[in-house]
Structure 1
Amino acid sequence: MATLPVTDAAVEKLPRRRRRGLAKFMKNRAAVAGALIVVFVVVIALLAPWLAPYDPIQASFMTVRKAPDAAHWFGTDELGRDVLSRMIWGARASLLAGVVSVGIAVVVGVPLGLLAGYFGRLVDGVISRIADALLSIPFLILAIALAAFLGPSLTNAMIAIGVSAMPRFVRLTRGQALSVKAEDYVEGARAIGLDDFRIIVRYILPNVLPPIIVQASLTVAMAIIAEASLSFLGLGQLPPAPSWGSMLNTAKDFVDQAPWMSIFPGIAIFLAVLGFNLLGDGLRDALDPREL
């Protein structure tokens, strides 16, 4: 079988597309702002032991519900714990829940989507019907049900959120795989005798990664909200360990006496979710193959 010559232009095409995508991303001010917010949240979470001015679980009954001042910038809670320190440590729980949950969804959902899209027929029918059944249940309702079944803990909350988000990646990956497997280079790979596993890993997977990356960044924002919701309901991070959602759960009883207990964790959740959403939108535009 005759082979087509590999030209320098073909070799440099992918790097050029990546450079154009990066340049387009950097020109998007909203996307850059989102990336900066995400980097800020990650740095706060990683450096929590060094950035937190106080022990996040140390109670002090001499400073119960103390308003923000020079000693406690964000005030204290109902047990005299520093709200700023708890928010800094809570960033770890929220970020960990977002990243690990999406990691579970990607690790499970992408391979299932590849199998469904590539092999079709019975495999596609079984996987797609299971995914459709899970998608028929609202995301947060499914996550709450699974978390309640597994029991309250941050680990179980991450598993529940990951399983609830998994069908989205199954459907997305299946659709992309159906499109890619019809391309000429995939047919050529079959013609020269490559087995299905090599075709999926070498030709299908790399071409479905860009939309998966975009979906993952957007799903992290959704997972952060889900973790906060579960913690608010007592199904996520358990006290006294700090979490933005559990802080809101406690603050609901002191909205009139100590509004800062709810304002600052709420702002933190808002900014983190906004950052990941802006980042995801920017990646979607930058990785759009029609504009590269």
Structure 2
Amino acid sequence: MTLATEAPVEVEPVVPRARVARRFLRNPLGAASAALLAIVILAAVLVPLLGLPDPNAVSLRDAMAGPSPHHLLGSDSSGRDVLSRLLWGSRINLLGAALAVAIALVIGVTCGLIAGYYGGWFDGVSTWVNNLTMALPGIVVLLAVRAVVGPSVWIAMAVFGVLLFPGFFRVVRGAVQSVRNELYVDAARVSGLGDARILGRHILTVVRAPVIIQTARLLGIGIAIQAGLEFLGVSDSSVPSWGSMINDGFRKIALNPILILWPSLAVGIVCMALVLFANALRDALE
């Protein structure tokens, strides 16, 4: 009697989530950055419930006022509360950066997986589009978009997300090309798994660490670029944002230098926390 046997499928070891969490929390920089990001996100979500003054309420009598019980961080050149505008502005900046990175993530990871796994004509075309996109001057493109569609931060960040996709494409394509002929991938093909399941179960797990670090890096870039665009006026002036606050502080820097401090700190600290968070999570996953 002949016994039918199946060739064993070699799979990658998967680190349990509990172990990843323990490794991550043992890293003091990772835990501190995660706590800081959680506080920023929580403040952005709960700002309507905090009872702060209207961020657009103008009071010329309170213009350039220092910190007080009514204005904890003082007021700007129009008498608007700095703390209120800082927290309401965090919503705009975080959501705008998240929109740009989400668009770049979907386009870049999808095209990188297909191009790296299959190669052929799709790889050639997508690589050509990737190089063309990288050659475009991003700020010039965004200024042109502003001239056509008006000062909409959401449209500007959506276009910026398209310009950011090469950051994911190059990382994912290179990682997929390095593992597509590994033994565990060949074994998965022999066992009858389709390409979609191989990409989702075996190859996508290989690229998750570089994608995570790239996501955090591009989130920081998105926040900084959005603040820069708002500083240049590529946004609705009636919407509070960190970039418009930096613009106002820069124009009044001789009269009240501290006005430029708070939004600049917000941009710098959040970008730093994102990089530290991604590095710690990458180390935990590996």
TM-score (norm 2): 0.89
Question: What does the per-residue CA deviation read over 1:34-56, in whole Å, with 9 as the maximum and x for residues that have no partner?
Answer: 11111111011101112252011
Report the alpha carbon displacement of residue 138 of structure 1 after superposing the two structures with TM.
6.1
2:252 to 254, 258, 280: 254
- Once the two structures are superposed, residues 27-81 of structure 1 have per-residue CA deviations (whole angstroms, 9 ceiling, x without a partner) of 2212222111111110111011122520111111221121222221111112211
Q: Deviations over 1:81-127 (max 9, x none)?
A: 10110001001011111212111110111100011101112111111
Do the aligned partners of 2:63 and 2:78 also contact (CA within 8 Å) in 1?
yes
Give secondary structure in 2 for the equivalent of 1:62. Answer: helix
Matched, 1:204 2:207: no
2:27 aligned residue: 28
- Partner of residue 266 from structure 2, selected from 265, 268, 275: 268
Q: Deviations over 1:203-223 (max 9, x none)?
A: 322332222122112211111
- Is 1:2 aligned to 2:1, yes or no? no
The separation in 2 between residues aligned to 1:175 and 1:148, in whole angstroms, is 37
CA contact (8 A) 1:75 1:83 kept: yes
Counterpart of 1:242 (choices 232, 235, 240) is 240
For residues 95 and 264 of structure 2, what CA distance do their matches in structure 1 show? 18
Match of 2:283 in 1: 285
- Tell me the equivalent position of 1:44: 43
Match of 1:231 in 2: 230
For structure 2, the 5+ residue unaligned runs are none
Query: Could you say if the C-alpha distance between residues 2 and 150 of structure 1 is closer, same or farther in structure 2, counting changes exceeding 3 Å?
Result: farther
CA positional deviation for 1:276: 0.7
2:110 paired residue number: 111
**Counterparts of residues 171-190 of structure 1 (less than 5 Å):** 171-190=170-189
* Cα shift readout 1:128-163 (whole Å, capped 9, x = no counterpart): 121122224566566555555554211112213211
Residues 242-280 of structure 1: CA deviation (Å, up to 9, x unaligned)? 000011112221111122321111111111111111112
Q: 2:167 matched to 1:168?
A: yes
Query: Aligned partner of 1:25: which letter?
Result: F
1:71 aligns with 2:70: yes
Q: Distance in 1 between matches of 2:205 and 2:246?
A: 41
Distance in structure 1 (CA, Å) of the matches to 2:145 and 2:168: 19
* Mapped contact 1:25–1:31 kept (Cα < 8 A): yes
Q: Using the alignment, how far apart are the partners of 1:138 and 1:34 within structure 2?
A: 32
For structure 1, the 5+ residue unaligned runs are none
Query: TM-score, length-normalised on structure 1?
Result: 0.88
- Aligned AA (1:14): V
Number of aligned positions between the proteins = 283
